[in-house]
Amino acid sequence: INSPLRLNNGVTIPCVGYGTFRTPADVAEQAVADAIEVGYRHIDTAAVYGNEEAVGKGIKDSGINRHRLFVTSKLWNTERGYESTKKALDESLEKLGMDYLDLYLIHWPANQKQFGDRAAEINAETWRAMEDAYHEGKIRALGLSNFMPHHVIDLMKTAKVAPAVDQIEVHPGWPHTQEVKYLQAHNILVEAWGPLGGQGAKVLTNPTMEKLAAKYGKTTAQISLRWILQQGVLPLPKSVHPDRMVQNTQIFDFELSDEDMKTISELPNLGGQCKDPDEVDF
């Protein structure tokens, strides 16, 4: 899980990350310490998760040197714009108890529905603040989350530093195939949130997934994570249970055939709240 992928600015990132969305603050400290204990070196959090302080404590508890970890956080939607972005980053660092982040993401693009013609400008100003923090050494890499290609194209009109990452929802039944292709062709590493269908998509109990799990002698969670990895996409599974944390790392001792990759990629939408970044109004 820690074999390094190289971002477009040369920074390396462990190829599986530990997700902490919906991990409450009172659980996150122990969960993160456990995750590091079982081997994760890449931890993904966000200001809006409300657990940055606990995540920071879990990291401290683990006793591991900060420099041996890859830590990501994200700028929440209420903090967009140049000044508030800089302030929000400092607050995240303070809560985490760190003086730099490995990766900082804009959590959601400002969209036209909410901001009309100002959307692109808001994203550009937010990005400019992130670029400045990058040059100041507070962030080792910059990225996006939930940006679809058209948002990336708009951002690139003014960006001086290209995004290294885009973290989008990817799981069986919601593959975002065209978007993944576009991002990869532009040298942007795709990270998968909700890789197990975490938002309510019935991935883990899907009969096709169960058939494949039986065929490979793996669990449906492992099949899903492997399908993500084999596309060159970086999965961010989360679990608060150490046995599942471990299970979610055991995905390097088998390979899905091309045909089985295709079968999974063609699964219909399995439900859940698949969010459209152009429609969200938070």
Residues in the site for ligand A2P, rule: CB under 6 A? 19, 194-198, 204, 219, 221, 237-241, 244, 247-248
Q: How far is the CB of 209 from ligand A2P (least distance, A)?
A: 11
**Which distant-in-sequence residues (6+ apart) come within 8 Å of 19 by Cβ?**
44, 193, 195, 198, 236, 237, 238
Q: Which H or E element spans position 235?
A: strand 234-235
224 near 210, Cβ under 8 Å?
no
Please say which residue, 58 or 195, places its beta carbon nearer to ligand A2P.
195
CB of 175 to ligand A2P, least distance (A): 14
Q: Scanning the structure block, which residue is given the tokens 């109004």?
A: 281
| C-alpha pair distances (Å), 97 with each of 13, 33, 35, 57, 93 | 21, 15, 18, 8, 6
What is the closest distance, in whole angstroms, from the C-beta atom of residue 133 to ligand A2P in the complex? 28
Using CB positions, name the residue nearest to ligand A2P: 198
Nearer to ligand A2P, 93 or 204 (CB): 204
Cα distance between residue 153 and residue 150, in whole Å: 5
Q: Which is nearer to ligand A2P, 143 or 235 (CB)?
A: 235
Q: Which residues pair with 13 in a beta bridge?
A: 5
CB of 259 to ligand A2P, least distance (A): 24
Of 18, 49, 104, 134, the catalytic one is 49
**58 vs 237, which CB is nearer to ligand A2P?**
237
- Give 263's contacts (C-beta < 8 A, 6+ positions apart): 208, 212
Nearer to ligand A2P, 215 or 241 (CB): 241
Report, in Å, the least distance between residue 240 CB and ligand A2P. 4
Q: Is 49 a catalytic residue?
A: yes
3-state secondary structure of 55: helix
Q: Look-up: residue for tokens 């492992």?
A: 222
Rounded to 5, what percent of the chain is helix, strand, coil? 45, 15, 40
Residues with catalytic roles: 49
